[in-house]
Chains A and B, each alone.
Chain A
Amino acid sequence: MTKTFNKFALSIATLLASGSALAATGAVADEFKWMTFAVFGTIIALTMAVTYWAAKQTHTTSEFYAAGRSVSGIQNGWAIAGDYLSAASFLGIAGLISLYGYDGFMYSVGWLVAYITVLLVIAEPCRNIGKYTMGDILAFRNEPKKVKTVAALSTITVSTFYLTAQMVGGGVLIKTLIGIDYEISIIGVGILMLVYVVFGGMKATTWVQIIKAGLLVCASILLVFFVWLPYGFSLPDYLQAVVGDSKVQAQVAKLLGDKATTMTAAELGQRFLEPGLFLKSPIDQISLGMALVLGTAGMPHILMRFFTVPTAKAARLSVIWAMGIIGGFYVLTLFLGTGAAMLVGPAKIAAVDAGGNMAGPLLAQYLGGGADSMLGNFFLAFVAAVAFATIVAVVAGLVLAAASAMAHDIYVGVIRGDHATPQEQVIAARISSVIVGILAITVGILAKGQNVAHLVALAFAVAASSNLPAVLLTLYWKKCNTGGIIAGMLVGAITAIALVMISPNMTYPQAVLKAAHKVVDGEPAAEAKPAVEAKAGEGFTCELFATCKKAEPAKAAEAAKPAKPGTKEKLVTLQAKLDAATDEAEKKILQADLEKVKKAHDKAEGDLKKFEGQTTSMMGLEKPFFLLKNPGLISIPLGFLAVILGSLMYRDQRAEDMWDELYVRQNTGIHAEAASAH
């Protein structure tokens, strides 16, 4: 194994070298790129050393899937944080706060509260009765082959959604940061992650996650220290400076549009700390909140982490530590986001990446001394490397979860009927990891340029509607049985996916075409409109489905608007101005404007071409039928209901006979899988 490992390490070094040669433009200036690669190289070398050490200790199934149950509670807490704080939360939430203020911060809360469910009702029982996978927990008192098949399907579905979002997001991120080609980034991340998982199994994955969480926390504390220091670490003084900043006020004015005209600068700034700039539909937020709070506890890669500790008590300690780290990190994010808004400016952040993902990295660059300074670029390189480590660590955890479902549940449990030798099991686990890894790389490359942001929310929704009801009810409800598990998992998962397919998350050509036409051809002048009073909807279902009229909020009166020129017209006038200009400085400004307009124009033209003649979405809809972006509000109750009804309609004597054993064991830990001696 060690020899093969060395060969792999070498090929990765070659790949990275070729990556640096191919590096095009990114946030890091060319002359400082070597620094980025030095930091990347150090982190990769460190994780490779850990993998080498872990590979020597990974021989048995328990060592491969569960690190021999030798991870301590505190270590596991850090690993959970490393597994959970994906690039979406590390860069995405800081970005949301930098662009939309309060709403971004509010969004982060649910990700922490989710761990209360994990702590109180999931972590310890799962450690007490589980072995390697979610399928093991469900198979305890149900028909093993049936429930393992469904559990594995659900695990693979959830992991694939999450994995695709991570791969695509990661590829884009690395391209934006250091300019390595998208495909090479994806292959690089994929191979690196495969080396950790295939050779070092859970032990290497755990330590990669611990290292990454440590780096992430250190980087954030450092940045927040510098952001907050000038204000003597006073919260009101600091936020006063944020709301007093003209860049922040300009952003709020831009978000509010016409409404901003009557507001003073101070009011605009204060508005940044008030809700409603980003999240506009409360029902949708509650739906997302439900998916987060219940979905985290049903995430296969999070559940799997509890099998790595020796006892239920250690599982408890690990959630406490994870909550401290994750929550502390989100509080720091408030400062990272507002700091980036104040120091870098929302307009500049959005110009590099529309979703705000570059807020953290740009803040780091600013604090180090700016884009031309050595230290500024070192800071940026460090944050970029942390982002890279983040993607690899999260992806490794997901691949391990999907591979364990494939190898342990399907191959060993269902196909071999639990009669595989230990050696065969480990080989099956490694082969499955390679299959899932190659799948992840392929999907990542195929999904280039696709909008995958909703896949994270979808993964949580499926986990909350399918996995959680099944796990929760098999642990706590005596009458739950095989029929309920199968019905609940299928109904929950299918409803969640189907609702998203007909939701506003999908692309609707008519809306895209209309927006693109607006960009290219401009808008005609509009007459003044009187104020419109709020209209009540025709009932609650109308807020969810496009079958009747939903409620409409009140609209303020609008002044008459002059016609807006489109990009087609703008390009001509700008070009004419540029040709006429004589002053060099003026020319430069005009040239930059021209390029900006051209970019918008090309994008709109591209959309027009792409969707020309299409009128309906993938599902044959002209506009969304389901009006929420998050399906949890409907799919979670349906998942629970299906488990209950399925159990009541199905007869399964074994499930009831095993109840006493399950209930005693989940509460006491008698006969729990022991740690392997080392």
Chain B
Amino acid sequence: MSKPSMNWAAIDADPRFQALHRKKAVFLWGLMFISTVYYFLLPIGAAYFQDLFKIKVWGVVNVGILFALSEFIVAWTIAFIYSKKANAQFDAMAQEIINDAHKMGA
């Protein structure tokens, strides 16, 4: 099961790979940042903004419950956005690089 050797430095230097790398880095770490900040708002809100969390908005349902439920929605939305972007764009960009990989730097 020997694998053909590749010129990894050449692939790394390829503008298409650099473009993929940049796009992914901004997108992934951006989403990561948003989700982390949004998550920690929950314990912070529950500890320091209790008066806000107690406001009833829908019968007995208060801001706190809606906010906790929104954490689920936000997590699922981020997962959905990422997978859509990855399936539509990142995979295609990577495939193009894979197709030409053995030619690069040869």
B residues in contact (CB < 8 Å) with A: 3, 6, 8-9, 11-12, 17, 20-21, 24, 28, 31-32, 35-36, 39-40, 42-44, 46-48, 50, 53-54, 56, 58-62, 64-65, 68-69, 71-72, 75-76, 78-80, 82-83, 86-87, 91, 94, 97-98, 101
Contacts and interface: CB of A to CB of B under 8 A. Distances in A.
A276 B54 CA distance: 11
Contacts, number: 150
A58 B102 CA distance: 34
Interface string A257-282: 00000000000001001111001001
B21 A667 contact: yes
Nearest to B28: A120
Contacts of B59: 235-237, 239-240
Interface residues of A, number: 51
25 contacts: A103-B46, A109-B42, A109-B71, A113-B39, A115-B75, A119-B83, A235-B61, A236-B58, A239-B59, A239-B65, A274-B50, A274-B64, A275-B64, A276-B46, A282-B47, A285-B43, A286-B40, A313-B91, A323-B79, A330-B72, A661-B6, A665-B8, A667-B17, A669-B98, A670-B98
Contact of B40 (A243, A289, A665): A289
Nearest to B10: A660
Contacts of A282: 43-44, 46-48
Interface in A276-309: 276, 279, 282, 285-286, 289, 293
A591 interface: no
A668 B68 CA distance: 37
A316 interface: yes
Contacts of B11: 660, 664, 668
Contact of A106 (B36, B68, B91): B68
Contacts of A239: 59-61, 65
Contacts of A669: 94, 98
A323 B48 CA distance: 29
B43 A113 contact: no
A667 B72 contact: no
Which of B6, B47, B61, B69 has most chain A Cβ within 10 Å?
B47
Contact of B3 (A119, A121, A331, A671): A671
Contacts of A235: 58-59, 61
Contacts of A319: 79
A438 B2 CA distance: 39
Nearest to A288: B43
A116 interface: yes
A668 B44 contact: no
Instruction: Name B's interface SS.
Output: helix
A81 to B, nearest CB: 14
A78 interface: no
A274 B98 contact: no
B76 A323 contact: yes
A14 B40 CA distance: 51
B65 to A, nearest CB: 6
A441 to B, nearest CB: 37
Contact of B83 (A293, A320, A670): A320
A102 B79 contact: no
A102 B75 contact: no
A289 B43 contact: yes
A220 to B, nearest CB: 15
Contact of B46 (A117, A279, A667, A670): A279
Contacts of A369: none
Contact of A660 (B9, B40, B71): B9
B17 A286 contact: no
Contacts of A40: none
Contacts of B28: 120-121
Interface string A87-103: 00000000000000011
Contact of A120 (B9, B32, B50, B65): B32
A539 interface: no
